[in-house]
């Protein structure tokens, strides 16, 4: 397992406890909730740009 940062809300999420994940441009992102995942999938670049 590994810690990952939810790019939508900024929360730290354990990859094996994440509510969902999505791959974008070769990187897998993990999310605390289905709502965060849906927001990311709708417009990934909006969230990645903030990193
Ligand atoms: Zn979140």
Task: Give the tens place of pLDDT for each residue, 3-50.
Answer: 999 999 999 999 999 999 999 999 999 999 999 999 999 999 999 965
Can you point out the beta strands (E) in the chain?
Answer: 3-5, 12-14, 20-24, 27-31
Q: How far is the CA of 17 from the centre of ligand 1 (A)?
A: 12
Measured distance CA(36)–CA(47) in Å, rounded: 10
User: What does pTM read for this prediction?
Assistant: 0.87
In the reported structure, the alpha carbon of residue 23 is separated from the centroid of ligand 1 by a whole-number distance in angstroms of: 16
CA of 4 to the centre of ligand 1 (A): 11
Q: Domain limits of the chain?
A: 3-48
């Amino acid at each position: 397992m590994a810690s990952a940062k939810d790019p939508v809300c900024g929360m730290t999420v354990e990859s094996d406890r994440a509510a969902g994940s999505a791959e974008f441009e070769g990187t897998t992102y993990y999310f605390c909730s289905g709502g965060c995942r849906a927001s990311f999938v709708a417009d990934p670049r909006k969230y990645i740009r903030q990193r």
